[in-house]
Structures are given as structure tokens and as C-alpha cells.
């Protein structure tokens, strides 16, 4: 694979990979660093990226492994010299007309609630959910990225759905009936 082909990959999958990095880190600044490092690592390993393989999955797996390494290093540093972990929220587009304001706010509130619920899942459930629903990867691709069996991916997705349903059930039920949640 040439540098020009890597540039093509960035043009094709860059937004998806950056979005995945934002969801992993919960911080725009950390996501930018992770995104850049993932593509730098891809440049280092340019020979490993097969043209006939799923190139997006390969770069997502690089980003995931870099993030896991950072988390391990952060945890180790926390044991030695604790510090606070910072995170910032996402940016959402504003509605353009007065009619769109309320529906836009409600939609954003629902999205924020779901994102927060997904963010509270443990990594073993959150990562497959992000890869499956956000990146629209197949179970086989997720299994390859996470280096776990396909059956494990399926069971983690199922368990995550149950956890999310249980957590969000009250919110969306109350929202539909108008019983207090906006």
C-alpha cells in the first residue's frame, strides 16, 4: 500500500474513525491525538494493510489497541501519582427554524441520554456496541478487531442491549406518556 492509498483511506474512513475515537475517549482533544496516532501507526505498518481486506477494520483495531494501551498506562500512573481525568461533551448542530428548535432539542436530549447510557457501560460491552451500531461493522469484523470469538461478540451485544433497555426503559416510557421527563 502506498502513501496515496493511505490518503484515500483517510478520505474514505477518516470521519468514521475520528467519531469512534471521540466515543472511546469521551474527549475531543484526546480523540484527535488518538486519531492521529492511529493513522501514524498505520503509516508505520503500511505493509500490513491488505488491499483485499477490510481496511477500515484494521485502522479501527489500531485505534482501539492504542486506546487500551493508554488506559493501561493511565491506570498505572494513577496508582503511582493520582490525577483527575478530564472529559468534555460533544458539539451538536443548532436547529435553523423556530419549529425545529423544540424537536431538535428533544432529539438531542434523547441522543445525549442514549450516549451517556452507552458511555456508562463497561468497556467489554461499550466497545462492541460502538463498533456494531456506530461503525456498522459485522460481528466477524468486531471479533477480529477485539481478538475474541464471534459468539462472545454476539453475547456481549445481547447483554449490552439488555442493560441499555433496562436503564433507558423508564426514561423513554416517561417521555412518551409525558410523566415528568423532557
pLDDT digits (tens, 9 = 90+) for 56-107: 888 888 899 999 888 888 777 767 666 554 444 444 444 456 566 667 777 7
Give the pLDDT mean for 15-31.
Answer: 88
Contact 123, 88 (CB under 8 A): no
pLDDT digits (tens, 9 = 90+) for 121-172: 999 999 999 999 888 889 999 999 999 999 999 999 999 999 998 888 877 7
Tell me: pLDDT of 119 over 90: no
Instruction: Encode 121-149: b = buried (16+ Cβ within 10 Å), e = exposed.
Output: beeebbbbbbbbeebebebebbbbbbeee
Per the structure block, which three cell numbers stand in for 84? 483527575
| Model-wide pTM > 0.75 | no
Per the structure block, which three cell numbers stand in for 94? 443548532
Amino acid at each position: 500500500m502506498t502513501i496515496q492509498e493511505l490518503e484515500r483511506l483517510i478520505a474514505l474512513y477518516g470521519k468514521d474513525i475520528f467519531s469512534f475515537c471521540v466515543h472511546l475517549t469521551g474527549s475531543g482533544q484526546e480523540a484527535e491525538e488518538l486519531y492521529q496516532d492511529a493513522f501514524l501507526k498505520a503509516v508505520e505498518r503500511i505493509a500490513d494493510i491488505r488491499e483485499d481486506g477490510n481496511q477500515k477494520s484494521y485502522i479501527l483495531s489500531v485505534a482501539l489497541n492504542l486506546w487500551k494501551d493508554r488506559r493501561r498506562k493511565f491506570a498505572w500512573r494513577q496508582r503511582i501519582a493520582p490525577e483527575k481525568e478530564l472529559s468534555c461533551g460533544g458539539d451538536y448542530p443548532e436547529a435553523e427554524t423556530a419549529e425545529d428548535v423544540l424537536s431538535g432539542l428533544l432529539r438531542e436530549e434523547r441522543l445525549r441520554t442514549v450516549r451517556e447510557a452507552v458511555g456508562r457501560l463497561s468497556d467489554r460491552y461499550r466497545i462492541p456496541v460502538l463498533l456494531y451500531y456506530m461503525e456498522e461493522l459485522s460481528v466477524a469484523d468486531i471479533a477480529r478487531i477485539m481478538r475474541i470469538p464471534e459468539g462472545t461478540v454476539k453475547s456481549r451485544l445481547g447483554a449490552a442491549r439488555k442493560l441499555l433497555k433496562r436503564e433507558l426503559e423508564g426514561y423513554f416510557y416517561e417521555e412518551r406518556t409525558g410523566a415528568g421527563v423532557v
